Amino acid sequence: FYGKNSEEPLFILRKMIRISKRYRITSIADFVASRYGKSATLGGIITVIAVFGGIPYIALQLKAISYSFLIITGTTDTGGQTAFYVAIALALFAILFGTRHLNPLERHEGMVAAITFESIVKLLTFLLVGGFVTYGMFDGYDDIFTQAQKNPSLEHLFRFDPSTYPDLMWMTILSALVVILLPRQFHMAVVENVSESHINKAMWLFPLYLLLINLFVLPIALGGRIYFGNTQAADRFVLALP
């Protein structure tokens, strides 16, 4: 695709931003509906899908915060009260500081700054914990992978299994799609976009971020299994190992 009276190629994200600005779009549902004759029915269906699809994601976030609190404090919670209180706290935070109305011409710098800060903290945490596990608890990558290969419960992970290829392919495709099509991602990349020139920086900065945050994923995962066996859930390793 090319811009009107221009030789500049309009790739997917740039084209989405221009369409959204032109038609004053504020959600992924509005965007898709606008491509099909501004169908209100289609927009409603996509909204319902986004709401129901987001419930498990929100549940995972509540579970993660609750587990983090319990691990740090060294306490247990059999009744799920921690998650309940976390949900109330997050609801109050959203009411006080969330986006109360959407105006295509208005930008929410505070929300963007909060997500930026969250992303930086998350990256630094992964790098620090990954470095501690890889070079503090173990003697580098070679040591972790060597111990994992010798572990009877982990050695199968180092064998290629063709039956897993279809799952890997679809997970890769879904992961690529959600970069833009998740409601939160669409809002940040398209609705909150101030200048198309930011795409040029995002084209290298976003892949670099993904590369850095995944540097220690395998060492943390394998290190956790070596250290804890099956007594600890894998999603707790980042906190439990330190």
Structure tokens at 22: 């032109």
- Number of neighbours of residue 125 by Cβ within 10 angstroms: 14
What local confidence, expressed as pLDDT, does residue 7 receive? 47
**33-37, 124-128, 150-154: which has the highest mean pLDDT?**
124-128
Q: What is the mean pLDDT of residues 130-137?
A: 95
Tell me the pLDDT band of 218, cut-offs 50, 70 and 90.
Answer: very high
pLDDT of 60 above 60: yes
In angstroms, rounded to a whole number, what is the distance separating the alpha carbons of residues 151 and 181? 40
- pTM, 2 dp: 0.79
